[in-house]
Amino acid sequence: MTLFPIPELLAAARPGGLGAFNVITLEHAEAIAAAAASADCPAVLQISENTVRYHGGLKPLTRACLQLAADNPAALAVHLDHATSRELITEAVELGITSVMYDGSTLDYADNVESTAAITRWCHERGVHVEAELGAIGGKDGAHTPGVRTDPDEAAAFVSATAVDALAVAVGSSHAMHTRDARLDNDLIARLSAKLPVPLVLHGSSGVSDDGLRSAVHHGMAKINIATRLNIGLTEAIRTALASQLGLSDPRKYLGPGRAAIQHEVEHFLEVLRGR
């Protein structure tokens, strides 16, 4: 099949949420694509700026993800996540990525509006979907620094001024959590959903329980980003394989179980986001 625009995937996922899963290795991408096909559910393959830095470039992994998405029977999109530079966004669009997240959350409000609006205009001229993040200066976590909350009125003004297509909001989650005890503000999610004309995106979803994710979707969260839980599953499976065979050196024999663990996690989250 061909790549699908994010708005079509969001519509296809309703009344559930759209699962968006971060890719670090080829095994991640293969597992996410296989899980979407197995569950017959739309999904997003996401490549972050940190992953681009890890690989030393965007092109190889992006081309692999685009091919996997195009060949998959499920509806998939490829998305650039947490990009902070115009250059990386330009390269992604030139490679064929049709959805990007520009992260200006570490800028002050006025600079975030100005830079986000300029990038959105450029992307829209090329038919590219733009997600942005609104929040106070907060280091790596940006708007998802613990304790930060998105103000509905400020968010509405930001969306109006920038014309973005989706907004990542701070409602109680935080990036890179290994426990699943984050408490989301469902009342705030509902108020943001009612106030904003664009889909809401939850980052840091790995730290939220299954019931918490179901409730977030019920209250208006549309796109759910998941990364850390996949990495935990991958790492645990590799540790188990290596511990069971101390002389093991064939990476296929430990990366294979790791890939299967990622697929299991993605299948689970896709069912949760369907409300099951």
Q: In the CATH scheme, what architecture does the domain 6-273 have?
A: Alpha-Beta Barrel (3.20)
| Confidence label for 139 from pLDDT (cuts 50, 70 and 90) | very low
pLDDT at residue 172, rounded to an integer: 75
The answer to whether residue 206 scores a pLDDT higher than 70 is yes
The answer to whether residue 138 scores a pLDDT higher than 70 is no
81 is catalytic: yes
pLDDT digits (tens, 9 = 90+) for 64-121: 999 999 999 999 999 999 999 999 999 999 999 999 999 998 888 899 999 999 999 9
pLDDT at residue 2, rounded to an integer: 67
Model pTM score: 0.92
Residues in the chain: 276
The answer to whether residue 276 scores a pLDDT higher than 90 is no
pLDDT digits (tens, 9 = 90+) for 23-62: 999 999 999 999 999 999 999 999 999 999 999 999 999 9
Q: Which residue of the set 40, 81, 210, 211 is catalytic?
A: 81
pLDDT at residue 134, rounded to an integer: 82
